[in-house]
């Protein structure tokens, strides 16, 4: 962040910055292109005409319920985001915090959604919150979201025997992440090793600051509280997937299996690190719904995957892009 000149009256002046320079349009466009390719592939796999017929027979009233559940997911995750910021001492207004949070949805089609680190730049420009602090919040968000999805899927793995290897990797990764983050001495030693490297040496101070903030978020109370909120939030989207399947013809969904399928597919999409889990998430949704659990025909399973991804991933990206473009206006200078 650029240093801020101090006026003769001793008041800090906030420089007007061009937020548009931070908008990575290339990442968004490439993600959309991959999404179109996924839709094309799904159409070929399930026969385009049969897929369109399944989509047409979808009970449209269910779409409103699914979108409302998605909105509840957003609201709960926003509460977690704002709670994390306040916990670390940042005090953006609720409006600025909300704008930045929703603008981050535009990066939903980046690998592991870590393109949402854009929120760190936006909040720094908007409310002068240090970039490493917000970046640590994004890491905390992703970690607790991942743990919540593991919890939602774990019982299904135990009951069905499917997805054991993926869940072992997911659980191992979660535990190792928590162990590393909880060991301050070991983590700081690793970070300080970067000071000896030509390029990373410039990031050592920022990484140390980011780690110290993240460590506060994985203390028992905030970790448990945020994970509970995340579990309820992602549980809403699992219910949404159940409603989507239930609104398609010739399907026999049950909520427990739908919860397992959706959470497992989301985890698998995340660990592949493909932009937004595109391809792998949809493929898992179709494969588990049609081939493994036989809850629907091939065409209905493909239609269900595309519909739930529109209501969750693509709806968020569209809203995020709109908010991001509106966000480009510079923050108003304080009154003097």
pLDDT at position 88: 95
Rounded to whole angstroms, the Cα distance separating 30 from 320 reads 16
pLDDT band for position 24 (50/70/90)? low
Helix (H) / strand (E) element for 16: namely: none
Cβ-proximal residues to 63 (8 Å cutoff; 6+ apart), any chain: 247, 307, 311
Domain ranges of the chain: 62-327
Range with lowest mean pLDDT among 29-43, 58-72, 219-233: 29-43
Distance CA 217, CA 140 (A): 6
Q: Which pLDDT score, from 0 to 100, does residue 114 have? A: 62
CA distances from 93 to 126, 173, 289, 299 (A): 10, 35, 43, 47
Of the two residues 182 and 283, the one the predictor is more confident about is: 283
Q: What is the pLDDT of residue 328?
A: 65
Six token digits for residue 68 = 């409302």
Q: pLDDT band for position 310 (50/70/90)?
A: very high
d(CA 17, CA 126): 9
**C-alpha angle with apex 184: 181 to 186, nearest 5 degrees?**
90
Q: Is the Cβ–Cβ distance between 141 and 306 less than 8 Å? A: no
| 234-247 average pLDDT score | 96
* Structure tokens given for 303: 């239609």
CA distance 135 to 15: 22
Q: Evaluate whether 258 touches 301 at the Cβ level (below 8 Å).
A: no
Report the residue count for the chain.
336
Interaxial angle between packed helices 61-87 and 298-309, expressed in degrees from 0 to 180 and rounded to the nearest 10: 40
Residue 318: CB atoms within 10 Å: 14
């Amino acid at each position: 962040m650029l240093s801020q000149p101090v006026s003769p009256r001793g008041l800090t002046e906030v420089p007007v910055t061009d937020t548009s320079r931070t908008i990575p349009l290339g990442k968004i466009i490439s993600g959309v292109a991959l999404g179109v390719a996924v839709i094309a592939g799904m159409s070929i796999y399930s026969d385009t005409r049969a897929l369109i017929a399944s989509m047409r027979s979808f009970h449209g009233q269910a779409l409103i319920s699914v979108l409302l559940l998605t909105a509840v997911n957003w609201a709960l995750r926003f509460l977690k985001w704002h709670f994390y910021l306040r916990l670390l001492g940042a005090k953006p207004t609720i409006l600025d915090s909300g704008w930045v949070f929703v603008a981050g949805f535009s990066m939903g089609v980046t690998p592991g959604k870590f393109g949402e680190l854009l929120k760190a730049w936006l909040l720094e420009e908007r409310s002068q919150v240090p970039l490493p602090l917000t970046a640590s919040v994004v890491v905390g968000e992703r970690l607790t979201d991942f743990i919540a999805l593991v919890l939602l899927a774990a019982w299904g793995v135990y009951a069905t025997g499917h997805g054991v290897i993926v869940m072992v990797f997911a659980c191992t990764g979660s535990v190792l992440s928590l162990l590393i983050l909880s060991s301050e001495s070991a983590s700081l030693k690793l970070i300080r090793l970067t000071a000896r490297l030509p390029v990373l040496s410039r990031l050592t101070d920022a990484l140390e600051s980011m780690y110290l903030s993240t460590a506060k978020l994985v203390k028992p109370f905030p970790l448990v509280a945020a994970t509970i909120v995340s579990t309820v939030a992602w549980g809403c989207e699992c219910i949404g997937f159940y409603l989507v399947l239930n609104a398609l013809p010739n399907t026999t969904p049950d909520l427990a299996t739908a919860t397992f399928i959706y959470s497992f597919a989301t985890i698998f999409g995340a660990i592949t690190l493909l932009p937004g889990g595109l391809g792998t998430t949809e493929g898992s949704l179709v494969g588990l719904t049609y081939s493994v659990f036989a809850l629907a025909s091939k065409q209905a399973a493909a239609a269900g995957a595309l519909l739930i991804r529109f209501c969750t991933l693509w709806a968020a990206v569209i809203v995020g892009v709109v908010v991001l473009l509106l966000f480009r206006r510079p923050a108003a200078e304080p009154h003097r």
